[in-house]
Chain A
Amino acid sequence: MHEYDPALAERLREKADWVWQETLRIHQRAPETRVASSLSPVEIFVTLYYGGFLRQNPADPRWHERDRCIISKGHGSLCMYPILADLGYFPASELERVCLEGSFLGAIPDPVIPGYETINGSLGHGIGVGAGMALALKRRAMDQKVYVVCGDGELHEGANWEAFMFAAQHQLDNLIVLVDNNQICMLGATDSIVSHRDLRAKLTAFGWQVQVVDQGHSCECIAQALATSQRANNGVPQAVIFNTRKGNGVPGLENAPLSHVTPIAPNVLAQLLEAKR
């Protein structure tokens, strides 16, 4: 089990900064990628993949003993490309070819990419499939966890709520749903479209144990919440709602209601990356 380590927290912060830059660089080369929704979960993924939470084997992505991580908000996970390359799932040179002919790294990831478990270009599928995997692991008496990273917007899909009920019924405490709660859909604020109102209360009412992390870009806070979820083992499925900012760190994009498919202007991108040098 994970132990909190201040030195690790600092390394995670540095790694998150690097992943943020790499994500912008990929977007610079492939402007058709959805960058805003890929910047809100950077720290969540960095903490999960570098923080010692996920049992993984990049040399064998389908390793039987791995913890499963389903990236349900597939379109908003461009930041996973540098992470997976850095960890050795595939050569870093592939990052130069995102969206190019012959590449396996598209604008929306598919499980032809080493490290991706399932298909999540279409939203609202991850939690149900994750519940099935979590049930299977329980029945096989394996202690592996199933993480599902989803967005708040995709929770509009009703199939999620079928799965939330199911997971609670079957006491799937090995299922951990991480909500990248950037609170913005394609056409504006989630609250202005169909509000989840009190998402924590809603998930609690569905039988889940829920944590809310207000500082959803703090690796330290994320790590603490993940450690709590991992330790649960109490017959209750686990959810963590991370309050994040869509387009985090990019002026004009951050928290902009219509940022979903907005590319970052080339000059802004260049300035942002230059400032990091």
Chain B
Amino acid sequence: MKALPEPLKARRAMRDTLLAAILTAMEDGDVFFVTADFGSPVLDLIRERYPQRFINVGIAEQNLINVSAGLALEGFKVFAYAIAPFITMRCFEQIRVNLALLSSVRPMNVSLIGVGAGYSYVVSGPTHQCYEDLTLMRSLPNMQVFSPADQITAELLARACLTRPGIKYLRLDAQVVRPLYEPELHNLNDGFKVHGNSHELCLVATGFMTHTALKAAAHLAKLGLNLSVIDLFDLTHFDTNALLEHLRTARRIVSLEEGFQGCGGLDSLLFNLLSRHAVTAPFLNIGVAPHYRFELGDRQTLHEQVGIGLHTVIEKIQRFCPALPS
């Protein structure tokens, strides 16, 4: 088997590591890859090596889902691949009916790979940016929702998708991010990773915002506030007790997401969890102000404008902890 070309090894985005894992997995004749005319260099290798199990349905996400469902009903393990807002919203009813509903009564293994979490398609505007997908996918019973923060997690999740039955949504960032984990030491079982051990404030983030959370924690530590950061990459099947164990010890809890604030994403997940288990620590939710915007700028600038930039996050946390020097 030919190794990956060197340039692909260097600066790898989540989709590159994930697709490389799928490329290896395609040796299993039961794995099928379906794309809605969305590519990447690694995908070219899949297409070249496995033409019988690689299908491009064209710019047709509804059919992407329907064909994937049909393949899965016949026993194939299917990866369906497209830009995040399109694979979740253009075809939401196909996902609801032919994956979420149907998987209640039929065994299926379908993994939806959506690339372009949050603002990661920085200059492409709100059609290509994606702030609603976690909410929508979470709303569907049976759907397993993953939001990795780095390439390593994305790669491990791709492998896990093959052995976990059911239907899944993987939300990937389109940009190259700093690797956070060592593959050998990274265990997906809990559904989250804890950084730091402070009880002052627990900052729960997901996806790209885990990086912002870690930077905010480093900055605030210098000001005398120690945070623990939780990277919640599995939004549906995390170990509830293990997560609660961390949250119960925190004097304050903050959620941080690259999705609309108060609209059913990570903040709602945490709010429900904390309420249900009578965790009464003060809770602050930081997310994208729920408006569509057309301004251009780099990702950090856009993030500051919508309320989730590093500086804004630091300010919000400082206000949330009034005892702190600002």
Q: A111-B105, A132-B71, A137-B74 are in contact. Are A159 and B94 (CB under 8 A)?
A: yes
Beta-carbon contact of A119 and B97 below 8 Å: yes
Q: A119-B102, A166-B57 are in contact. Are A135 and B67 (CB under 8 A)?
A: yes
A interface, over-half SS: helix
| A162 at the binding interface (Cβ < 8 Å) | yes
Beta-carbon contact of B62 and A129 below 8 Å: no
The contact string, 1 if C-beta is below 8 Å from chain A, for chain B 54-86, is 010110101101111111111110000000000
Beta-carbon contact of A159 and B53 below 8 Å: no
A221–chain B nearest beta-carbon distance, Å: 30
CA distance A119 to B70 in the complex (A): 12
| A187 at the binding interface (Cβ < 8 Å) | no
Closest to A137 in B: B74
Beta-carbon contact of B105 and A162 below 8 Å: no
Report chain B residues within 8 Å CB of A117. Answer: 73
Beta-carbon contact of B101 and A162 below 8 Å: no
Instruction: From A130, A135, A140, A162, give the contact of B60 (CB < 8 A).
Output: A162
Report chain B residues within 8 Å CB of A136. Answer: 32, 70-71, 73-76
Beta-carbon contact of B74 and A162 below 8 Å: no
| B52 at the binding interface (Cβ < 8 Å) | yes
Between A and B, 19 residue pairs with Cβ closer than 8 Å are: A110-B105, A119-B97, A121-B97, A125-B94, A125-B98, A128-B94, A129-B66, A131-B67, A136-B70, A136-B73, A139-B32, A158-B62, A159-B62, A159-B66, A162-B58, A165-B60, A166-B57, A166-B58, A166-B60
Known: A128-B94, A139-B52. 14 other contacts (CB 8 A): A119-B98, A125-B94, A128-B98, A129-B67, A132-B68, A132-B69, A132-B73, A135-B55, A135-B67, A136-B32, A140-B74, A158-B62, A162-B62, A165-B58
Report chain A residues within 8 Å CB of B105. Answer: 110-112
| Size of B's binding interface in residues, CB under 8 A | 29
| A122 at the binding interface (Cβ < 8 Å) | yes
| A170 at the binding interface (Cβ < 8 Å) | yes
CA distance A111 to B106 in the complex (A): 9
Instruction: From A125, A139, A163, give the contact of B53 (CB < 8 A).
Output: A139
Closest to B53 in A: A139
Beta-carbon contact of B70 and A134 below 8 Å: yes
Closest to A158 in B: B62
Instruction: From B55, B58, B102, give the contact of A118 (CB < 8 A).
Output: B102
Closest to B69 in A: A129
Categorize the interface residue count of chain A. Answer: 20 to 34
Report chain B residues within 8 Å CB of A132. Answer: 66-74
CA distance A140 to B74 in the complex (A): 9
In chain A, positions 150-175 with a C-beta closer than 8 Å to chain B are 158-159, 162-163, 165-166, 170
CA distance A139 to B32 in the complex (A): 10
Report chain A residues within 8 Å CB of B72. Answer: 132
CA distance A140 to B53 in the complex (A): 11
Closest to A117 in B: B73
Give the interface centre of A111, A118, A132, A133 by most chain B CB atoms within 10 Å. A132
Beta-carbon contact of B66 and A131 below 8 Å: yes
Report chain A residues within 8 Å CB of B295. Answer: none
Beta-carbon contact of B97 and A170 below 8 Å: no
Closest to A118 in B: B102
| B93 at the binding interface (Cβ < 8 Å) | yes
Beta-carbon contact of B93 and A122 below 8 Å: yes
CA distance A158 to B91 in the complex (A): 11
CA distance A121 to B52 in the complex (A): 32
A86–chain B nearest beta-carbon distance, Å: 23
The contact string, 1 if C-beta is below 8 Å from chain A, for chain B 96-113, is 011001100110000000
Beta-carbon contact of B73 and A118 below 8 Å: yes
Beta-carbon contact of B71 and A135 below 8 Å: yes
